[in-house]
Amino acid sequence: MITKQKGTYDIAGVEGKKREYVNSIIRGICEKYNYDYIETPVFEATELFHRGVGETSDLVSKETYDFTDRGGRNITLRPEGTAGVVRYFIENKLYGNMTEPIKVFYNEKMYRYERPQSGRNREFTQFGAEFIGSDDILADLDIISLAYQTYTLLGLDVVIKINSLGDTESRNNYRKALIEYFTPHINNLCEDCKERLNKNPLRILDCKVDASSDILNNAPKTIDYLNKESLDRYNKLKEYLDLLEIPYEEDQKLVRGLDYYNHVVFEIYADIPNVGHLALGGGGRYNGLIKELDGPEVPAVGFAMGYDRTMLALSEANINIPINDSIDVYIMYVSDDEKETAAYITQNLRLNGFICETDYLNKGLKGEFKSADRLKAKYLIILNDKDLESNEVNVKDNTTKEEEKVNINDLVEYLDMHL
Ligand code: HAM
């Protein structure tokens, strides 16, 4: 038997319905915030992620699915959505005539070669949104608010952890301070962190191996290295978050795992019974990324939410997801003579907006009654040759069990009144 690959999963049945519900919430909120739907390819040139996300990030150095295709090209399966959207923006020269910012959202499969565990897989879905073409605080706020309201609409109680990495000058000063601070401790750091020290010392703060050591806890804080402009900007953002009553906590150790961020970075957390403190999503500003990928200097900000952890959080927090597991009408036929009429009525009612099913297995009336109950049909339509002679059918309310004869031409009107 061929089984699914480690770190992948199938979504079907009730789980599929739940995802559809989450999708509908996301579509609805993105419409209100005016984000347009975008799909980018599952595979891209490896270089896009190496240069975009950063060679020294764990994501690129350890987790990407890289391969050479039959034409000898270096290809990577998309590990995140931002780089692809930026590639699309540059390739189509959307910066040429930017009278309005570009606001897009995606809902796509991503691939990371990670150790699978609860809420962490090798193939997973992210909902993400990118806001390209504004450096204004209002754009930061648009993205953070969209993220926060999405979780709130789903019924989850979340808190947003925020920090600022500042502009290039602030980030460089901070980088220098980290190298100075960590150099005397180098022998007490893990092998990966020794490598990170000169290449990208910010990554040391994100290290899972050294996470609880005092060396990391006492490391310099970003906030002390922000220049005046960056600090003012960060304070302004907090004022706006207060104004919109978006709850946040400052976390001076938050640097995020991808290399393209500057200014605000944030992560969304929920405390979930039996699971703990769970990161459901994250994002931030990435003003340098478009230039890094050979475009002009255009500011941007975005975020992404992981479906797996969000679904896990919804289930562990016992949040009721409204899913429809019943149908409106089950159409039954006594013999083959009524099959054509059954097919006709089924299609006609579906086209008029009713959820309908009929018997595809020639079960006979007894089996059809059982099917109707299993499918939780609200109404039954029972066809027999005698009634059909006068163009009538038997309609039965499956709850009260009351029956009525209804003319076929009046069925839509009848069901509209009763359902
Ligand atoms: P990220 O923090 O790498 O950011 O991923 C965002 C979310 O995707 C995580 O918080 C988590 O919920 C989910 N996620 C990540 N890896 C996995 C996995 N292996 N299995 C299940 N879920 C996972 C980004 O990807 C950035 N592109 C976000 C962004 C958009 N920044 C700016 N714009």
- On whether residue 190 sits in a domain, the answer given is no
Instruction: Give the containing element (helix H, strand E) for 397.
Output: strand 392-397
Q: What is the pTM of this model?
A: 0.94
Q: Whose CA is nearest to atom 31 of ligand 1?
A: 283
Q: Is the CB of 308 under 6 A from ligand 1?
A: yes
Out of 262, 295, 316, pick the residue that ends a domain: 316
366 is in which domain, residue-wise? Answer: 329-418
Same domain, 73 and 155: yes
Instruction: Count the domains in the chain.
Output: 2
Whole-number Å distance, alpha carbon 144 to ligand 1 midpoint, is: 15
More confident residue, 304 or 324: 304
DSSP 101-165: -EEEEEEEEEE-----BTTB-SEEEEEEEEEES--SHHHHHHHHHHHHHHHHHHT---EEEEEE-
Question: What's the start-to-end Cα distance of the chain, in Å?
Answer: 46
Q: Where are the alpha helices (DSSP H) in 286-410?
A: 289-292, 307-316, 339-351, 364-374, 385-389
Long-range Cβ pairs for the range 23-32 (8 Å, 24+): 23/107, 25/150, 25/153, 25/154, 26/105, 26/107, 26/127, 26/150, 29/146, 29/149, 29/150, 29/153, 30/105, 30/129, 30/146
CATH code for the domain in which residue 345 is found = 3.40.50.800
Same domain, 154 and 279: yes
Atom of ligand 1 nearest to the CA of 79: 25
Same domain, 48 and 147: yes
At how many degrees (to 10) do helices 307-316 and 137-154 cross? Answer: 40
Atom of ligand 1 nearest to the CA of 256: 2
Same domain, 30 and 116: yes
Atom of ligand 1 nearest to the CA of 304: 28
Whole-number Å distance, alpha carbon 343 to ligand 1 midpoint, is: 47
Atom of ligand 1 nearest to the CA of 310: 12
- On whether residue 198 sits in a domain, the answer given is no
For residue 208, pLDDT beyond 80: no
- Name the residue among 308, 318, 311, 317 with its Cα closest to residue 119: 308
DSSP 334-359: SSGGGHHHHHHHHHHHHHTT--EEE-
| Alpha-carbon gap, residue 220 to 242, rounded angstroms | 27
Atom of ligand 1 nearest to the CA of 81: 27
- At residue 210, the pLDDT reads 66
Contact 189, 182 (CB under 8 A): yes
Q: In testing the pocket of ligand 1, which one of 80, 112, 121 has its CB within 8 Å of the most ligand atoms?
A: 80
**Adjacency order of strands within the sheet including 248-250:** 36-37, 102-111, 123-132, 300-306, 276-285, 262-272, 159-164, 248-250
Atom of ligand 1 nearest to the CA of 116: 19
Q: Is the CB of 121 under 6 A from ligand 1?
A: yes
CA neighbours closer than 13 Å in the CB half-sphere of residue 109: 13
Q: Is the CB of 114 under 6 A from ligand 1?
A: yes
Q: What is the mean pLDDT of residues 20-31?
A: 97
Whole-number Å distance, alpha carbon 282 to ligand 1 midpoint, is: 6
Q: How far is CA 9 from the centre of its chain?
A: 16
Q: Whose CA is nearest to atom 33 of ligand 1?
A: 302
Q: Whose CA is nearest to atom 21 of ligand 1?
A: 120
Same domain, 300 and 348: no
Same domain, 287 and 396: no
Q: Whose CA is nearest to atom 16 of ligand 1?
A: 120
- On whether residue 213 sits in a domain, the answer given is no
- On whether residue 377 sits in a domain, the answer given is yes
- On whether residue 381 sits in a domain, the answer given is yes
Other beta carbons within 10 angstroms of residue 85's beta carbon come to 23
Q: How confident is the model at residue 186 (pLDDT cuts 50, 70, 90)?
A: confident
- On whether residue 75 sits in a domain, the answer given is yes
Same domain, 407 and 304: no
What pLDDT digit, counting tens, does each position of 106-157 carry? 999 999 999 998 889 999 999 999 999 999 999 999 999 999 999 999 999 9
Same domain, 159 and 70: yes
What pLDDT digit, counting tens, does each position of 140-153 carry? 999 999 999 999 99
Q: Which is it for the CA torsion 48, 78, 312, 275, positive or negative?
A: negative
Share the mean pLDDT of the chain: 94
Instruction: Name the pairing type of β-strands 123-132 and 102-111.
Output: antiparallel
Whole-number Å distance, alpha carbon 83 to ligand 1 midpoint, is: 13
Q: Is the CB of 263 under 6 A from ligand 1?
A: no
Q: Is the CB of 163 under 6 A from ligand 1?
A: no
Out of 316, 348, 370, pick the residue that ends a domain: 316
- On whether residue 199 sits in a domain, the answer given is no
Same domain, 268 and 291: yes
Whole-number Å distance, alpha carbon 320 to ligand 1 midpoint, is: 25
Other beta carbons within 10 angstroms of residue 309's beta carbon come to 22
What pLDDT digit, counting tens, does each position of 316-357 carry? 999 999 999 999 999 999 999 999 999 999 999 999 999 999
- On whether residue 4 sits in a domain, the answer given is no
Out of 278, 293, 316, pick the residue that ends a domain: 316
**Adjacency order of strands within the sheet including 377-383:** 356-358, 327-333, 377-383, 392-397, 403-407
Q: Whose CA is nearest to atom 11 of ligand 1?
A: 306
Same domain, 385 and 251: no
For residue 211, pLDDT beyond 70: no
| Alpha-carbon gap, residue 204 to 207, rounded angstroms | 5
CATH code for the domain in which residue 123 is found = 3.30.930.10
Same domain, 348 and 394: yes
Same domain, 254 and 383: no
- At residue 263, the pLDDT reads 96
